[in-house]
Amino acid sequence: MQDVDAVRRCRQGEVEAFGHLVHKYQRRALAHARALTGNAADAADVTQNAFLDAFRHLDRFDETREFYPWFYVLLRNRCFKQSARSKNATSTSDVVEAAEPTASSPEEMYDVRKALDRLDIADREIIVLKHLDGWTYDELAERLEIPRGTVMSRLFHARQRLKLLLSEPQRARR
């Protein structure tokens, strides 16, 4: 089933058709949410709520566009809200603890992940979308609704801050 068919069927009241969209995009959405929120439990909550937002607002979806970029805006709104809520409640060390290294992960990769989790959510988002998803400057500009020049400067500063965090590995491991 094509996404647009699923959306049309949902609009006609076929709730089951929404399952197609959830199953197709949940893994990607959970990965994005995990990267943005910094922990798996919050990622599952915000992704679930973002899918509910999407279902409620399907009438606003433009069928000529792709589903995921539209859904991503809802997801990132949820992630930013969750991040703001848990900013004071969760200490940095809790977030770092949540990202345990896997047996196959080299130490360096673990350090990078930990450093990413310690970044501000806006910095983390742009780095994740650029490096892990491979979005181009133009795609980032369009989907984050910011000018291309802003994408470049935000990416530049986010990388500077990430480099700074990576240069303090002993602090990150604490």
Partner 1 sequence: MAAMARLDGEAAALTPEQVDAHLAVCDACRDAVASLTTLQTQLDGVDYEHLDTDLWPEVQRRVAQGMSRPGVRESRAIIGLAIVLGAWRLAQLLAGLPAPVINSLVPLVLIVVVLRQVIGDPFGIRVTPHQLQQEGTS
State which of positions 94-153 bind partner 1 (CB under 8 A).
99, 106, 108-109, 112-113, 116, 127, 130-132, 136-137, 152-153
CB 33 within 8 Å of CB 75: yes
**What DSSP line would sit under 31-82, residue for residue?**
HHHHHHHSSHHHHHHHHHHHHHHHHHTGGG--TTS-HHHHHHHHHHHHHHHH
The one segment of 31-39, 67-75, 76-84, 85-93 that binds partner 1 by CB under 8 A: 31-39
CB 79 within 8 Å of CB 33: yes
Of 99, 79, 91, 81, the residue nearest 36 (C-alpha): 79
* 1 sits near partner 1 (criterion: CB under 8 A): no
Can you tell me the distance from the alpha carbon of 154 to that of 32, in angstroms, rounded to the nearest whole number? 19
* 86 sits near partner 1 (criterion: CB under 8 A): no
Q: How far is the CB of 92 from partner 1 (least distance, A)?
A: 18
Q: Which is nearer to partner 1, 66 or 107 (CB)?
A: 107
Of 42, 35, 53, 26, the residue nearest 122 (C-alpha): 35
* 15 sits near partner 1 (criterion: CB under 8 A): yes
Q: Which is nearer to partner 1, 20 or 73 (CB)?
A: 20
Please select the residue that binds partner 1; options are 51, 67, 70, 72, rule is CB under 8 A: 51
Chain centroid to Cα 120, Å, comes to: 13
Q: In the 8-state DSSP scheme, what is residue 145?
A: T
Please select the residue that binds partner 1; options are 87, 97, 156, 171, rule is CB under 8 A: 156
* 47 sits near partner 1 (criterion: CB under 8 A): yes
Binding site for partner 1 (CB under 8 A): 8, 11-12, 15, 18-19, 22-23, 26-27, 30-32, 34-35, 40, 43-44, 47-48, 51-52, 55-56, 99, 106, 108-109, 112-113, 116, 127, 130-132, 136-137, 152-153, 155-156, 159, 162-163, 166
